[in-house]
Amino acid sequence: MRDGPEFSAAAPLAALRSALGGVAAFFARVDPGTHRRIRGLRLVTAYAMAAMLATMPDVGAGLGGATLPFLAGGFALWGSVSEARATRPESSRDLVLLAIAAGLGAALFILLAPPLRHLGQAGPEAVLASGAFCVGYLRRFGVTGAGFGSQIYIGQLLAYGAGLTPRDLPTVGLAVVLAAIGSVVPRLLSGPAEHPPPSAPLSDRAGRIGAPLAMGVQAGAGALLIVGLNAALGLTESEWAITACTYVVAGSATGTLERVRRRIVGTLVGVPVGLAFLPLASAAPLLVWAAAALAMVIYAMALPERYDIACGAYAFTLIATLAVSGEHSVPLLAARAWETLLGGVVGAGAATLLLPLRVGAGEGGQRGAGRRRYRIVANEWRGLLGHIRADRK
């Protein structure tokens, strides 16, 4: 018979083995070929490499301080998330373009925000509506266009969060270079081990307004509504709500509602788990960073098929990294949950009431020749103007 000490020592080990077995089974079920795990590791490596390069004394001397690693790491991370090519040359080209797009978004915010400051604290946030529109509309131009639009918004969001001004433009330019290096090198090393995630087909709207234009209008209008709510009510972190509204908009009203549900569920799980790590933020910051890196790997694995798990993983990463960076206010960190709820509701309302998209196979879901894609852009804009005139009548 086992005595008490032996039994008490064996029980935690058995529980640990069971937990690790469950994690391994989850990884095998979600990513049977390990391709997404490799992609997740590349995301973490790209962020770390770009941020590390930005902290080297000879690289960022006199530029940005802590802002340069923040921008370079963010540009590289989200560019690697958006990149979806199968070969290394195409991936490297897109990663460079995506880094440039993020820099362009940051520069646009820097240049457009000052005239809006007289409108109050929420004024500069209105610039984010243009990035939200790009997230939806630039899907018209394929995989690279979708990533380009997303990176424009990410650049604006990071510039807003860092409080950049025109004197920070050189810092943005250097961050673009470092992000391109930090994201391209891991992709060259990962080689054929990665498989690009599948791209979601778009639905059509009846008439001449294509799905990408309708999605851009929905996301942009939702962002402007949240800016107005912030001006009236003083939201805690309104950019989180704008981001949720922007990225839940899908190729159909039904798809948007499903993404809203999954994003809210995932965030409501990820935020409390992240808050549970608050005591470790000061005592064991390396452990928190390691947990955040693992969560980003899970994010990359789950994103194509399990949007709820991906949102939960990212919510945990955001809360944990904010905590380890010195932000310990529980109300502010918990605001991630209800700001996501607000953004999701606004996004769902925009997708349902404003240019609603129906499910169907049409020009938005087809992969025709590039020339045809560009030719219908003018027709879409004419259709949108005609729709506005009809509503006024």
What integer pLDDT is reported at residue 118 of this predicted model? 86
List the single range of 19-23, 131-135, 249-253, 383-387 with lowest mean pLDDT: 383-387
What integer pLDDT is reported at residue 80 of this predicted model? 94
Count the domains in the chain. Answer: 2
Q: Which residues pair with 238 in a beta bridge?
A: none
- Alpha helix locations (H) across the chain? 4-30, 35-55, 67-82, 88-116, 127-137, 142-162, 169-190, 211-233, 238-248, 253-276, 278-283, 285-302, 307-324, 330-353, 370-392
Mean pLDDT across the chain, nearest whole number? 84
Q: What is the mean pLDDT of residues 210-219?
A: 91
- pTM, two decimal places: 0.85
Q: Is 143 in the same domain as 276?
A: no
pLDDT at 66 over 60: yes
In a domain, 157, yes or no: yes
What integer pLDDT is reported at residue 379 of this predicted model? 61
In a domain, 371, yes or no: no
pLDDT at 168 over 70: yes
In a domain, 104, yes or no: yes
Q: Is 154 in the same domain as 256?
A: no
Q: Is 155 in the same domain as 223?
A: no
pLDDT at 62 over 60: yes
Q: Is 225 in the same domain as 330?
A: yes
In a domain, 366, yes or no: no
Task: Say what percent of the chain tops pLDDT 90.
Answer: 55
Q: What is the pLDDT of residues 225-270, one digit of tens each?
A: 999 999 998 888 899 999 999 999 998 888 899 999 999 999 999 9
Q: Is 150 in the same domain as 176?
A: yes
Closest CA to 100 of 76, 135, 128, 126: 76
Last residue of one domain, picked from the residues 193, 216, 243? 193
State the residue range of the domain holding 143.
35-56+63-193
In a domain, 99, yes or no: yes
Q: Is 169 in the same domain as 279?
A: no
Q: Is 144 in the same domain as 230?
A: no
Task: Say what percent of the chain tops pLDDT 70.
Answer: 80
Q: Are 208 and 380 in contact (CB under 8 A)?
A: yes
In a domain, 20, yes or no: no
